[in-house]
Amino acid sequence: MMEILDSPVKDLWRIFRIMAEFTEGFDELASVGPAVSIFGSSRSEPQDRYYKLAEQTASEVARAGFAVITGGGGGIMEAANKGAADAGGKSIGLNIELPMEQLPNEYQNLSLHFRYFFCRKVMFLKYAHGFIVFPGGYGTMDEFFESMVLIQTLKQASFPVILMGSDFWGGLVEWIEEKMRNEHQYIAAEDMDVFTVLDDPHAAVKVIVDFKETEGRSGLDLPPGMKKSQVLPIK
């Protein structure tokens, strides 16, 4: 009985904790300038070619004047933070509390800590001028498909979503094209245009730079009243 009575109180305090996470995140990230969120597996080792590719890509992103935002953990996240830091850029980690402890990597020069995934996800989007998604598992797929949903439903501005590693992503893209689009028409033809599969870090950065110069928007800056036909496809 006591636990039942205490539940609303716990929920109230949870609301305050959520507000605090949003407040801290907005306050800390408001001045970072344009940023690129980089995602990928936490299990990639330093000798892995995707780890090295992520490090190189983040370095190029930082040199182009963007802050790099990652989930703050190991693997691809560590590689991206390392690349950005080594290039003299802003290397940001949005760390999450997990049952299996995630240790923040040592290459962050701005580190935030979150208890709630949804607060953390808003921070990935709020200041992003692009997403770069490296090979990964369920968490990586979640970030990729959530970005697709938000762009498709106009809950955020259309910005570049780049899948790095054609050999990894090729099968998934083929399945999306054949099953979701052609066989069942669950998505439209233009929904295939909101992401790009690349292997070259320079090409990835060029897509993001060109889009920023053309559109000048970040992830949650969709102009009021914009219609789907007004959102430029990303090719």
User: CB-based contacts of 97: which residues, under 8 Å, 6+ apart?
Assistant: 113, 114, 115
229 occurs within a structural domain: no
pLDDT in tens, 2-15: 445 567 778 888 89
What's the token pair of residue 227?
A: 């219609």
User: CB-based contacts of 98: which residues, under 8 Å, 6+ apart?
Assistant: none
What's the token pair of residue 10?
A: 């716990």
- CATH code, domain carrying 31: 3.40.50.450
In angstroms, the CA 225 to CA 73 distance is 38
pLDDT in tens, 60-92: 999 999 999 999 999 999 999 999 999 999 999
90 occurs within a structural domain: yes
Q: Tally the domains of the chain.
A: 1
233 occurs within a structural domain: no
223 occurs within a structural domain: no
> With 50 as the cut, is the pLDDT of residue 160 above it?
yes
> With 60 as the cut, is the pLDDT of residue 215 above it?
yes
**Bridge partners for 36 per DSSP:** 68
225 occurs within a structural domain: no
Contact 91, 122 (CB under 8 A): no
Mean pLDDT of 41-50: 96
48 occurs within a structural domain: yes
> Residue 229 has what pLDDT?
33
62 occurs within a structural domain: yes
Residue ranges making up the domain that contains 32? 2-217
153 occurs within a structural domain: yes
